[in-house]
Amino acid sequence: AKRKYNGRKELVHIKDGLTLTLEKLSVLADSLVFTESTSGIATETIMKGTELEENLYQDREKMAAVALEESGGTIEVMGVLSDKLRIAPLPLMARSEEGHLAHRIYEVEPSIHHEEYDPALSDTLPEQQARTKRRTRAASTNQVPDIFLVEVHVMVDEHHYKVFDRREALVTYLALTIALVNMRYEDTSGPNIRFLLTSIQKEEGFAQTFNASDIGWPDKRMYAEANKTYKHLLEKYGRSPADITVAVTGLIFADEYDYFTYDDARVQGQARLGGVCNVNYSMVMVEDVPMSFGIVSRLPHELGHALGAPHDGETYTWNNSLPPRNDCRKDRDYGHFIMHPYEPGNGEFSNCSKEHMTAFISTLSTSCFDLKTKQNCTTEVKKLPGVSTNLTKICKLAHPKFLEWNVVRQDKENCRFECCSRLSLEYEELTCGAEHVLPDGADCGDGKRCVKGRCGYYDEYGAPTTTRQAA
């Protein structure tokens, strides 16, 4: 990779036809609180957000977010180049004749299935409906800001954080994740919604686990039971120290049934409708293979629920003065937007979803808009994490019991890939596990990259390019 400067923006050349136009990004509070437990005693470390963000950049057009590290005259790039492309350094590879460090650019795929099971959600709707009139009256006196900075507390379990050897590496990964989520909320208005990472907590044992057959493999593996885990999270951590808590597990969510099948592992996240700033359920949960950035295809959807958006095709009245439009409810053809009930898109919200979020935000008390932490106000960008993602490494983390790890791109156009292995080294036939999502910036073949779940001609920063430029 080569870098040069163009005004306040930085141009980083990854390879022929792939150049990112980077600017600094800002998603961390000035004082980031990092909590971890030692021998049962929780310790808090205050980390300087401005320093942690020094090497983080984004390219909004290309939906890219990357970390740049310069050492000994070479540049290491890690992050998402587009929805499907990732990049990571290969430190054990020899340098080129020009002295450049070798990097691996690889492709990841989004998941087709994104079903959610919210058994407790229906129980909360009458309560929420009863509050509608009171909230409508309160909304008339609210001053909704032009920009709503939603403060986020991230809680990560041991199945996820064990992959990161330093706390700074975990912070970088989560910061790039929030930056990529923000890109998907850029076209919201009234107010414009942005997320600010204010605290991170390493928390063991919040996933309620069970063992069942591995997907595509004869051995058993550990799963997180979706409904039990979410119920436990609400009971123990339901009141967020921020506006919303995001619980991240490195396990696969599933429903525990006597006759377990692949269909029981389709759930990938869970949230309560209108959870932001709620005293009882300001909590969403998602699964993520660490370092895969698969979380980016799930978190915008769950946060959309927390901000008042039901699935496309459904309506909910938050404010009688801002009722949902008549054409939001449809029997078929929801479009391929972020809040699709079964196959959510990765790029943008429908107008109905945006209007639901605006109506919900109008009911919030002014205290929810108050910033609880100091904010770093710079706006600069980096390469998409998928530019440097190692898909084989992701497969090893996701399927540790496989004999080998072959990356199979069955559905490149929709930014998905599978991890496959022979059941025995004497076999020729491959068996494959669950589908995974290609992170933003990952290569999806033919000179294309994934950006917001779409395979197209983008550079490492997510900016659209011509066919020739991207080749």
Q: Which two tokens stand for residue 396?
A: 């090893």
Does 301 show up as a binding residue in the annotation?
Answer: yes
By the 8 A CB rule, do 375 and 147 touch? no
The packing angle between helices 167-184 and 299-306, to 10°, is 70
Look up residue 382 and give its DSSP letter. B
| Alpha-carbon gap, residue 337 to 300, rounded angstroms | 11
Residue type, 347: G
Dihedral Cα 420, 426, 429, 433, nearest 10 deg = -20
| Alpha-carbon gap, residue 385 to 79, rounded angstroms | 2
From 302, 355, 435, 460, the catalytic residue: 302
Q: Is 302 a catalytic residue?
A: yes
* Partner residues linked to 153 by β-bridges: 199, 245
Residue type, 367: S
Does 305 show up as a binding residue in the annotation?
Answer: yes
Q: Which two tokens stand for residue 25?
A: 């990004």
Q: Which two tokens stand for residue 401?
A: 């019991």
Length, in residues, of the chain: 471
Q: Which two tokens stand for residue 305?
A: 């629920």
| Alpha-carbon gap, residue 107 to 87, rounded angstroms | 9
By the 8 A CB rule, do 453 and 293 touch? no
Does 100 show up as a binding residue in the annotation?
Answer: no
Rg for the chain, CA atoms, rounded:
21
Pick the closest to residue 291 from 200, 180, 176 (CA basis). Answer: 176
Annotated binding site for Zn(2+): 301, 305, 311
Just list the catalytic residues.
Answer: 302
